[in-house]
Amino acid sequence: MGGQEQKQLKIFTLGKFQVFTGEENLTKKYPKSRRPWLLFQFLLTNAGQSLSSEIVVGTLWPATNYENPQHSLRNLVYRLRQMLKDEGNGDRYIIQTQGNYSFNTRSNYWCDFEELEKLLERAFSLKDKDPQKIKLLEKAYQLYGGEFLPSRPYEEWTVNLRLYCQRIFLKVVVELNRLYEEKNQWKKTIALCEKALEFEPFEENLHWSYVQSLIKTDQKARAKNHYHQTHALFQKELGVSLGFDIDEMINKHNNFEPKNSSSTWGDFQEILEEKEEDKGAFICDGENFRMIYQLEERRAERNIRKSSLASLQLIAPKGKKLPEAELDEKSRILQGTLLNCLRRGDVIFPNKPGEFLLLLVDVPPDKVDKVLNRIASKYYENSPDDEVRINVRHRPLLQGGTI
């Protein structure tokens, strides 16, 4: 390698965006270079992909009419390389190949969301009794500073990675929570949930664990106060109630006299398993359904997995109209059937009385009919004398489709 050895580029994206080379904060040094930093964020998000000038410019600056996007981007890349001290000593951070650009994943860099993924993978490869497992999970937990590129919340190209990082963080929290509970380390669980709920305030399982930990440490008044505040928040923001009852949790705690710590965990593990059984497929409102649908479309386009959109509509006999109360009751039966038949990864949206939209996630196209026929059969079994029929439609997810 000729010249001075290239210093490692250190990139923070979770809860903040900062780039360092050695001890020098480059984002602080170049605070007004918005366009070069936006380009860097886009290339990093799509690390390893070779992107044409037209795609880069069209995605980042769609409203700007460039006569020569290749020339404009070339100048911007030059500025970015100067900021990064990417002077060609060793592998460059920004690669240009036949007019296309990409972030070089083989260059000398460290990135927080990639480190988060590595820590989780290493932790899950270890057995529970290995003390390194908790240490790795705690390191991952501390590394997560918030959502991916928080200054770009409305950019479509950040959505997938933002949700992916959130899922990794929740996996870390759930696993740490489980290990703490096994050791009856309730104070650690409380601290864990308090920070996690700052990032994920609508994650019901975190509230359940937090309330349980407060009860276990004889902080029942605090547990009740948190429960009622959270219950009111869920009803106001989501229109739903919490799926657990504070009085029931306190009564179970008061009536439970463990003989040893292992039996304590066993009984509460049983409670957790009962909660898991109640979940079934994910039911959401129209806005969330649309967002999940768009994410699945992108995965389908990239051949990550194949999913399908389906609709189920209750149809009254010809010439009849179902009374509103009867339609509501039949909708309730159909919704229960969907929850029993679909997997936890599938998504349900009650579009209107008597009609449900479904996302069948990662279901091969040739299996969709079988899944929907099973749902219809189960519904008819629950309503054997019902003249109402189910109209079923479905199609695979395609980029550019409408919903």
Q: How is 302-343 classified by DSSP, letter by letter?
A: TTS---EEEEEEEEPPTT----HHHHHHHHHHHHHHHHHHS-
Structure token pair of residue 137: 């999970």
Q: Where are the alpha helices (DSSP H) in 16-130?
A: 26-29, 34-45, 53-60, 69-84, 112-124
* pLDDT number for residue 301: 64
CA distance 365 to 361: 11
Confidence band, pLDDT 50/70/90 cuts, at residue 384 = low
pLDDT at residue 274, as a whole number? 40
Of residues 54, 58, 56, 21, the one with CA closest to residue 41: 56
Q: Which CATH number describes the domain made up of 32-107?
A: 1.10.10.10
The β-bridge partners of 9 are: 21, 109
Q: 283-396 belongs to which homologous superfamily?
A: Reverse transcriptase/Diguanylate cyclase domain (3.30.70.270)
Q: What is the mean pLDDT of the chain?
A: 83
Q: Is the pLDDT of residue 400 over 50?
A: no
More confidently predicted of 263 and 318: 318
Residue 307: predicted pLDDT: 83
Numbered ranges of CATH 1.25.40.10 in the chain: 125-280
Residue 278 — pLDDT band, cuts 50, 70, 90? Answer: very low
H/E segment holding residue 95 = strand 94-97
Q: Which two tokens stand for residue 26?
A: 């480059």
- pLDDT given for residue 20 in this prediction: 94
- What is the DSSP secondary structure assignment for residue 130, as one 8-state letter? -
Distances (CA, A) of 101 to 48, 204, 238: 9, 42, 42
- Give kind and range of the element (H or E) at residue 20: strand 18-21
How does residue 256 score in pLDDT terms, banded at 50, 70 and 90?
low
- Give the global pTM: 0.60
The class that CATH gives domain 125-280 is mainly alpha
Checking if the pLDDT of 402 tops 80, the result is: no
pLDDT in tens, 178-216: 999 999 999 999 999 999 998 888 888 899 999 999 999
Give ranges for CATH 3.30.70.270 in the chain. 283-396
Spell out the long-range contacts of 124-132 with Cβ–Cβ below 8 A and sequence spacing 24 or more. Answer: 124/175, 128/179, 128/182
pLDDT digits (tens, 9 = 90+) for 133-190: 999 999 999 999 999 999 888 888 998 899 899 999 999 999 999 999 999 999 999 9
- The pLDDT value recorded for residue 403 is 46
Angstrom distance (rounded) from CA 102 to CA 115: 20
Q: Which amino acid is at 25?
A: N
Stretch 44-55: mean pLDDT: 90
